[in-house]
Amino acid sequence: MVKIKEVLMKDIKSILQNADSVLIGAGAGLSTSSGFTYSGERFKKYFADFEKKYGFHDMYSGGFTAFESLEENWAYWSRQIYLNRFVKAPLPVYEKLLELVKDKNYFVLTTNVDHCFQKAGFDKSRLFYTQGDYGLWQCSQPCHKKTYDNQLFVEKMIKEQGFVIQDDGSLELPENGFEGIKMTVPSELVPLCPVCRKPMTMNLRCDDTFVEDEGWKRAAGRYEDFLNKNKEGRIVFLELGVGGNTPGIIKYPFWNMTYANPQATYICINKGEAAVPREIEKQSICVNNDIYETLADLR
């Protein structure tokens, strides 16, 4: 087994080195590999009070909970935003990925909303976040097509609940634990739309109210330009941690574009979910292993 793995890593490295371009497709599994887990110990450390009151056991489920008030809603969401958008990932998965492609003609298409690519140093002009950004708010109606940076407001909400933001940006409980934590934020911090005064909401694609602002449209245009210039050459479609929730955004298009281009290579790294259609099997490499471990092997 070790011998097969070594040959496989050598093959992947050679393919990447000889590629004309690399299109990275990143899903939730990539951030999970970096330590951004939505359940377990990380969830309990920061959301034990919400878990006790509402009975959900992960951050994803919490995002669909009907809280008693807007003040409580934003206490929950400010924690989730801060932890998954403004705190550095525990493991340097994204940094290892950047080392692999930084000298290549690359572009990133991702359904992740945590901006780990930018935090790791990826070129902002080579990123397309299709599903939104934890760091942005929009009108819940929405009455206009604009988004708003939320970092300063989120940090205020976090501090008002009693959390301590360390010098390195990490988040800690006060000395008396959850006894010193509030489950609400002050009413004056509840974000309202500056135009219609309706409540603001997250800029996350969950229904037809998602705002595709000017920044989103420019990124979509850059992605289209990249494909138009590179999809016919020796392009590598590098899919990382993409599951079955939204396969129509990354997985299926990658399969189709690989099938349409005999020079293309499809590489899928996804623990427990690495698979490929028979039609492109000879153009593909699947690694059923943790992404962090695999990228470390490639280096």
For the chain, what is the mean pLDDT?
94
pTM for the model stands at: 0.94
- 133-177 residue pLDDT tens: 999 999 999 999 999 999 999 999 999 999 999 999 999 999 999
pLDDT at 4 over 60: no
Kindly report whether the peptide bond that precedes residue 92 is cis, defined as omega within 30 degrees of 0: no
User: Considering just the CA atoms, what is the radius of gyration of the chain in Å?
Assistant: 21
* 43 within 8 A of 58, measured Cβ to Cβ: yes
Q: Map out the domains of the chain as residue ranges.
A: 10-36+91-131+212-299
* Euclidean distance between CA atoms 146 and 23, whole angstroms: 28
Per-residue confidence band for 1, with pLDDT thresholds at 50, 70 and 90 = very low
User: Which fold, 10-36+91-131+212-299?
Assistant: Rossmann fold (3.40.50)
Q: Which residues contact 269 (CB under 8 A, 6 or more apart)?
A: 238, 239, 240, 241, 286, 287, 289, 291, 294, 295
- 190-233 residue pLDDT tens: 999 999 999 999 999 999 999 999 999 999 999 999 999 998 99
